[in-house]
Chains A and B, each alone.
Chain A
Amino acid sequence: MFVLITYDVSLEDYGGQRRLRRVAKACKDYGQRVQYSVFECIIDPAQWVKLRQRLFSEIDPEKDSLRFYFLGSNWERRVEHLGAKPGIDQEGPLIF
């Protein structure tokens, strides 16, 4: 399945930087960074449970917010990109 993850981590208090970094890291382990705090993950349900749990344990629910958008398997039709930084098609041919 395809999940879009966006987050806002408050930097006002001490430790915000750390939470921000760790949230980004968790997302990076499972998906592709498409914008600064936006990640696209192609993930199976078991991995999703793990990632979700990991994200919840990193954030401070009082100050930070996470949003998940579930775009299903037919996500290609629901995503359009304009401008710079086109992402890698994670399901297409990966040739570097």
Chain B
Amino acid sequence: MKKHLNTMFVTTQGTYLHKEGETVQIKVENEIKGYIPVHTIGGIVCFGRVSMSPPLMGFCAENDVAVTFLSEYGRFLASVRGPVSGNVLLRRTQYRMADSKTDSASLARFFIMGKISNCRRVLDRVLRDHGEKIASEELSSASVRLKSSLDSLRQTSDLDSLRGIEGESAKNYFSVFDHLILSRKDEFKFNGRSRRPPLDKVNCLISFIYTLLLHDVRSALETVGLDPAVGFLHRDRPGRPGLALDMMEEFRPYFADRLALSLINLSQIKPSGFKTTESGAVLMDDETRKALLVAYQKRKQEEIYHPFIDEKITLGLVFHIQAMLLARFMRGDIDAYPPFIWK
């Protein structure tokens, strides 16, 4: 099986990365900070003013190392793609399915099912662990409503109605999300989902983690030979990784939202680590970003049990497993795509 490889994050402004033998050399102001063998990493994420030599980009593409460039605050800028590789037959199947309304709808339903089930589990888990000290009635009613969304999902096969259910359940889930913040509530207040720009600290955290997640999911899809740009739930738009966004849905609540919540609830980040700009956008400082990256990497190394393949794996590998299962479904090896549902 594929090994869960490490991701390298470069946050120091002015860093230059280039190829030295078969390693990545990290250079800041002409001072060499280190060498990392390319085989030991699965991805490189560069923040802000970080540059990379074209030979290294080519070498990364050759070795299946996903390279993503983000702005200093985590907004997606660009990613590096090598020569088109992987299985052309699989990709063609993917395009045909995306063209077909029924196939798109059935796939979109799997993704949404994963997302809503996981949203529900996040709420139920908090209810079970902290039910006595929070507004448990609101939470449990939201959970019930998510359950009914799940039920209506089963009877729907129209793509637009599916999107409707998804939007409604997301609204439902985020309407009670503030209750999941258990400590320092006055400082970390969630005022509904806001993005571009995030208007509060919680949104700032969530958006940033989503960007990291997108990088991982995208590279997992590319590794199995799928085209991350052609989605089912998210339709084609230039520059948008539709399929990566589709597959991300099932990981958002379980992986990203819970990570943001535990960072806040376990006081791993400080409220003072954020600043508000004149436009109302909330940004985090370098220290907070670093703490977040460390937590994200740690979370990926945690071991979980994957019910479908019946094996213990690291969380970071789950993206690859799901991408592999999706490819198998498209090839017709399995009858349905099993979304990852947190038990």
User: A96 CA to B10 CA in the complex, in Å?
Assistant: 5
Assess whether B9 is in contact with A42, with CB atoms less than 8 Å apart.
no
User: A88 CA to B301 CA in the complex, in Å?
Assistant: 17
Contacts of A93 in B (CB 8 A): 9, 293-294, 297-298
CB of A66 to closest CB in B, whole Å: 18
A63 adjacent to chain B (CB < 8 Å): no
Point out the residue from B7, B20, B40 that lies within 8 Å of A42, measured CB to CB.
Answer: B40
User: A25 CA to B22 CA in the complex, in Å?
Assistant: 9
A94 adjacent to chain B (CB < 8 Å): yes
Known contacts being A30-B39, A90-B6, A90-B40, is A96 close to B298, with CB within 8 Å?
Answer: no
Chain A interface main SS type: mixed
B41 adjacent to chain A (CB < 8 Å): yes
Interface size on B, residues (CB 8 A): 29
Point out the residue from A30, A91, A95 that lies within 8 Å of B293, measured CB to CB.
Answer: A95
B174 adjacent to chain A (CB < 8 Å): no
Contacts of A96 in B (CB 8 A): 8-12, 15, 26, 28, 33-34
User: A12 CA to B15 CA in the complex, in Å?
Assistant: 40
Interface residues of A in 29-57 (CB under 8 A from B): 29-33, 41-44, 47
B35 adjacent to chain A (CB < 8 Å): yes
User: A95 CA to B33 CA in the complex, in Å?
Assistant: 11
Assess whether A95 is in contact with B21, with CB atoms less than 8 Å apart.
no
Assess whether A29 is in contact with B9, with CB atoms less than 8 Å apart.
no
User: What is the chain B residue whose CB lies nearest that of A87?
Assistant: B34
B101 adjacent to chain A (CB < 8 Å): no
User: What is the chain A residue whose CB lies nearest that of B295?
Assistant: A93
Known contacts being A90-B40, A94-B36, is A28 close to B9, with CB within 8 Å?
Answer: no
Assess whether B23 is in contact with A29, with CB atoms less than 8 Å apart.
yes
CB of A36 to closest CB in B, whole Å: 15
Assess whether B35 is in contact with A44, with CB atoms less than 8 Å apart.
no
Assess whether A91 is in contact with B6, with CB atoms less than 8 Å apart.
yes
Contacts of A44 in B (CB 8 A): 3
B92 adjacent to chain A (CB < 8 Å): no
Interface size on A, residues (CB 8 A): 20
B37 adjacent to chain A (CB < 8 Å): yes
Point out the residue from A31, A33, A41, A94 that lies within 8 Å of B9, measured CB to CB.
Answer: A94
User: A5 CA to B11 CA in the complex, in Å?
Assistant: 31
B290 adjacent to chain A (CB < 8 Å): yes
Contacts of A28 in B (CB 8 A): 20-21, 23, 35, 37
CB of B293 to closest CB in A, whole Å: 5
User: What is the chain A residue whose CB lies nearest that of B8?
Assistant: A94
Known contacts being A95-B290, A95-B293, A95-B294, is A30 close to B9, with CB within 8 Å?
Answer: no
Residues 25-57 of chain B, each 1 if its beta carbon lies under 8 Å from chain A, else 0: 010100001111101110000000000000000
Show the binding face of A for B, using Cβ within 8 Å. Answer: 25, 28-33, 41-44, 47, 88, 90-96
Show the binding face of B for A, using Cβ within 8 Å. Answer: 3, 6-12, 15, 20-23, 26, 28, 33-37, 39-41, 290, 293-294, 297-298, 301
A-B contact pairs, 29 of them (CB 8 A): A28-B35, A28-B37, A29-B21, A29-B22, A29-B37, A30-B37, A31-B37, A33-B35, A41-B37, A42-B40, A43-B39, A47-B39, A88-B34, A90-B6, A90-B36, A90-B40, A91-B301, A93-B297, A94-B6, A94-B7, A94-B8, A94-B36, A95-B11, A95-B294, A96-B8, A96-B9, A96-B15, A96-B33, A96-B34
Q: Rank and list the top 8 A-B pairs by shortest CB-CB distance, nearest first.
A: A29-B22, A93-B297, A94-B8, A93-B294, A95-B9, A29-B21, A96-B10, A96-B26
